[in-house]
């Protein structure tokens, strides 16, 4: 199940500052990574693609839908995982959290509870149904968010650095669970290892498209540029 993401001259400006400058892309790969330095506009792009924010100008379409205008389609087409699970989780138990999105899609409470239980079974976590979220570790909370998104069966999941700050074993386990998802992934990350088996990379630099293409090709160019910038002394420069 591969999604198509179309950006046409996408611009996003807030409080007089332009964050994204005329991005144009047509992406239809199943596993897409987005890389770039802090402040390059990656998280803004994630929210725009998910339909949580409207562009200042230009167009975004996911599988033919303008998700910022069609919220019903947004529920079916795209799920998003944020860096902080506390910004996403709103219910006290795992089962309730998984069922909520399904109810938003039109399922009855009974149907949503059954479907949520099925997702937990798929992940081998049936015993989490009545578990309280506040008793879980940070990595486990990330997994709850992932399962809640997967339960809604979107065609595309956007990952906005959801594993930042987690230790290596936890990240490895969460990435293993991600591989169970059969739809498309758009993954924003600072860690090249997270994108090892991805098909396509998009490099965003200061709100502009620097490069888009096969993973190995773009990653090599990106890492070379990052090493060059790391050898510079830009942290010592004061703003004028």
pLDDT 10s digits, 116-143: 999 999 888 999 999 999 999 888 998 8
pLDDT tens per residue across span 135-193: 998 889 988 998 899 889 899 999 998 887 788 888 887 888 787 788 899 999 878 88
14 within domain boundaries: no
CA 49 to CA 87: how far, in whole Å? Answer: 18
Rounded to two decimals, what is the model's pTM?
0.86
Q: Write the CATH number for 118.
A: 3.40.50.300
Sequence-ordered strand ranges (E) for 1-96: 5-14, 17-27, 31-35, 57-62, 78-81
pLDDT tens per residue across span 67-111: 888 878 887 899 999 888 888 899 999 999 999 999 988 899 999
Give the residue among 201, 157, 199 at the shortest CA–CA distance from 182. Answer: 157
| pLDDT tier for residue 238 given thresholds of 50, 70 and 90 | very low
206 within domain boundaries: yes
121 within domain boundaries: yes
pLDDT-wise least confident of 62-66, 85-89, 204-208: 85-89
CA 33 to CA 55: how far, in whole Å? Answer: 21
239 within domain boundaries: no
Does 240 have pLDDT greater than 50? no
**Residue matched to tokens 């990952």:** 159
236 within domain boundaries: no
187 within domain boundaries: yes
What local confidence, expressed as pLDDT, does residue 215 receive? 95
**Domain count across the chain:** 1
41 within domain boundaries: yes
In terms of residue numbers, what domain contains 38? 30-51+70-230
What local confidence, expressed as pLDDT, does residue 19 receive? 95
- Would you say 41 and 207 are in contact if contact means Cβ atoms under 8 Å apart? yes
13 within domain boundaries: no
């Amino acid at each position: 199940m591969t999604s198509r993401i179309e950006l046409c001259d996408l611009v996003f400006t807030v409080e007089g500052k332009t964050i994204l400058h005329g991005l144009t892309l047509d992406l239809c790969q199943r596993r897409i990574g987005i890389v770039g330095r802090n402040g390059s506009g990656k998280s803004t792009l994630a929210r725009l693609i998910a339909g949580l924010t409207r562009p200042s100008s230009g167009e975004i379409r996911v599988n033919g839908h303008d998700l910022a205008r069609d919220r019903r389609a947004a529920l079916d087409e795209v799920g998003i995982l944020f860096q902080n699970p506390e910004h996403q989780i709103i219910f006290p138990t795992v089962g309730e959290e998984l069922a909520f999105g399904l109810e938003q899609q039109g399922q009855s409470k009974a149907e949503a509870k059954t479907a949520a239980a099925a997702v937990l079974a798929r992940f081998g976590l049936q015993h989490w149904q009545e578990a309280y979220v506040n008793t879980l570790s940070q990595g486990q909370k990330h997994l709850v968010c992932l399962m809640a998104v997967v339960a809604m069966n979107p065609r595309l999941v956007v990952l906005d650095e959801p594993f930042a700050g987690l230790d290596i074993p936890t990240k490895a386990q969460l990435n293993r669970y991600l591989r169970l998802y059969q739809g498309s992934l758009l993954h924003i990350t600072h860690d090249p290892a997270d994108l090892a088996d991805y098909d396509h990379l998009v490099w965003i630099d200061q709100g502009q498209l620097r490069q888009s293409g096969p993973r190995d090709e773009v990653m090599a160019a990106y890492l070379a540029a990052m090493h060059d910038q790391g050898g510079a002394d830009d942290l010592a420069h004061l703003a004028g």
